[in-house]
Amino acid sequence: MAEHLMTLGEVHTALLRNSTAVSTTDTEALLDLVQGRRVRRSERPIAHAQSPDRHIGVDCALAGTGARVRGVGTVCTRATITGGHVAQASAYVRVVRGDAGRRLPWSHYLAAPGTIETIGKIDAASITDAMLRGEPGEALNLDAIGNRTLDQVQLDHRLDHRPAFRTARTRLRWAAGPGESTTLSFSLDDPTTRTLRLPRTDLDDRATAAFCEDLALHDWLLTTLLTMVESRPAGSARADTVARIRPAIDFLLHLWMPAARTDPALQELWRDVERRPGFTRQWRVNVDRIRDQLALATIERLGR
């Protein structure tokens, strides 16, 4: 068996470009990205649908190497819709050390979907660091693959393209596997980009990717809520504040269910996230702020 060097991935998260929650029928149509393969759906504890995996062939340099190190294989990409409101696209790949020292026929790589084999001497740590910094150049570009998958969903004619409010698309870059830290590390690189380093795990790549998708979803929810709560201009009327945070009540608050679909063996990773940076603590604090604003608005209206 080829040596597993690392698993790399990116998750893009955005508000679905529709004025209302999409129906079950439209959700399945939006995620029907691979002909002949069914969309996976669940309704508990919250509506969630996932497209079939699609595999994109790549033959390119790998980032972070002084010499040109080549990778050949396929990248796995898929899209999800949660609660009828939030769309995500994920692109991830397992990188293994190639033994042949040369490019093999495509049939060889197609036998291991979602896997890239290296050609040439490789420094796994430098590739991981470069990918997490977002420096693909002309090399492996998971960002482009994930964006293209999400755009395919967002541009579908079944959507009315009138989102209920404006919010940014976020991106989570992640890496897992041998050579990584023994503890989870999550960082905010800029207002829309996050980096996640996962400890070594023997779980399959799909379970790890699903954990990262769930983490990206809740980071997007928290980021969007913070933007709404903290964007009140000085001196603005209470009614304006309530109008600004109303989409949070209508579209976001009921979606907060961390680890609802996480593989049981990865629950400890969610506990790490809750300890630091403490997603749920920050979420609850800001939900309380919203409720306080609503209470004050009600008191002011009754006073008038």
CA distance 241 to 221: 19
pLDDT at 179 over 80: no
Residues 109-147 pLDDT 10s: 999 999 999 988 888 888 888 888 886 656 789 999 999
- CA count, 13 A, side-chain hemisphere, 184: 21
Question: Whole-angstrom Cα distance, residue 87 to residue 14?
Answer: 5
Residue written as tokens 């799909």?
Answer: 206
**Which pLDDT score is estimated for 137?**
57
- The pLDDT tens digits for 62-81 are 875 555 788 999 999 999 99
Its sign, for the CA torsion 100, 101, 105, 108, is positive
64 closest CA partner among 4, 140, 10: 140
Whether omega before 45 lies within 30 degrees of 0, making that bond cis, reads yes
- Three-state SS string over 113-131 comes to CCEEEEECCCCHHHHHHHH
pLDDT digits (tens, 9 = 90+) for 200-259: 767 788 999 999 999 999 999 999 998 888 766 555 566 677 777 888 888 889 999 999
Does this model's pTM top 0.85? My answer is yes
**Two tokens, residue 34:** 């691979």
